[in-house]
Amino acid sequence: MTALLRLISIAICSLLGLSSAVAGGAHQNDVARYLAGLPPTAQSSASSLTLEPAWIAHAEQMDSAWTRLERAQLAPVRAFSAAHLGPPSPTLLYMFSGPDYLYARNFFPDARTYVMAGLEPPGRMIRLNNLSPEDRQRGLDGLRDSLRTILDASFFITADMLKDLQGHSFSGVLPLLYVFLARSGMEITDVRHLGLTEDGG
């Protein structure tokens, strides 16, 4: 799983055309778990932040939403995939995916590399401890708003995404990918923001 996730995160970020930067995988994995409403590792600097009332409420809402999502959408998708889809290519190319790793993963769980490309803003590396409690609360509220449509209806609405993916501390596609990866049981080992030249180099 770790090797798989390393391929996922590098492939996605390389197509987003970000400026060059690297973040420690262990720290970003704890960020992903925090955003997903899952406890970070005990030694993480984010661990104490889970005592804040805003995160406790966020975790409860995420647990409830994910239980509904699993029962109503993801389990049927996996059953359909097992019954009707043949062996996958090792690499899944998903153009105009936005942050929709969730359905790529559940329709094609045996792919080894997921290459996703979209037009939505990628977002920035998140440093939880650099934010005020108020900014973290607003960010968690905004994150749930961004997730609302896919959790309820199984797809993103482009016009809503362009509005929802900005204006708070956890803006952009990256926080949504973090949630989906963490809730899918993945471990983030490396996150890179890479820039592409005009000729794709």
Give exposure, 116-143, as e/b (b: 16+ Cβ within 10 Å).
bbbebbbbbbbebeebeeeebbbbbebb
Residue 199: inside a domain, yes or no? no
Residue 48: inside a domain, yes or no? yes
Burial class (CB in 10 A: 0-12, 13-18, 19+), 173: buried
Residue 198: inside a domain, yes or no? no
Question: In Å, how far from its chain's centre is CA 129?
Answer: 20
Residue 98: inside a domain, yes or no? yes
pLDDT the model gives residue 124:
79
Residue 19: inside a domain, yes or no? yes
Task: Count other C-beta atoms under 10 Å from residue 9's C-beta.
Answer: 25
Whether the CB-CB separation of 195 and 16 falls below 8 Å is answered with no
Lowest mean pLDDT among 5-9, 78-82, 143-147: 5-9
Q: What is the pTM of this model?
A: 0.81
Instruction: State which of 25-34, 69-78, 143-152 shows the largest mean pLDDT.
Output: 69-78
Each residue's pLDDT tens digit, 8-61: 443 444 444 333 344 556 788 999 999 999 999 988 989 999 999 999 999 999
Distance set, CA 136 to CA 31, 51, 159, 177, 179 (Å): 12, 12, 25, 18, 15
Domain range for 82 is 2-193
13 versus 79: the higher-pLDDT residue is 79
Residue 201: inside a domain, yes or no? no
12 versus 199: the higher-pLDDT residue is 199
Residue 200: inside a domain, yes or no? no
pLDDT the model gives residue 86:
82
Q: How many distinct structural domains can be found in the chain?
A: 1
Distance set, CA 3 to CA 7, 110, 116 (Å): 7, 13, 17
Task: Count other C-beta atoms under 10 Å from residue 24's C-beta.
Answer: 13
Mean pLDDT of 154-176: 65
Q: In the structure encoding, which two tokens stand for residue 46, read together?
A: 């984010």
Of the pLDDT bands very low, low, confident and very high (cuts 50, 70, 90), residue 105 is very high
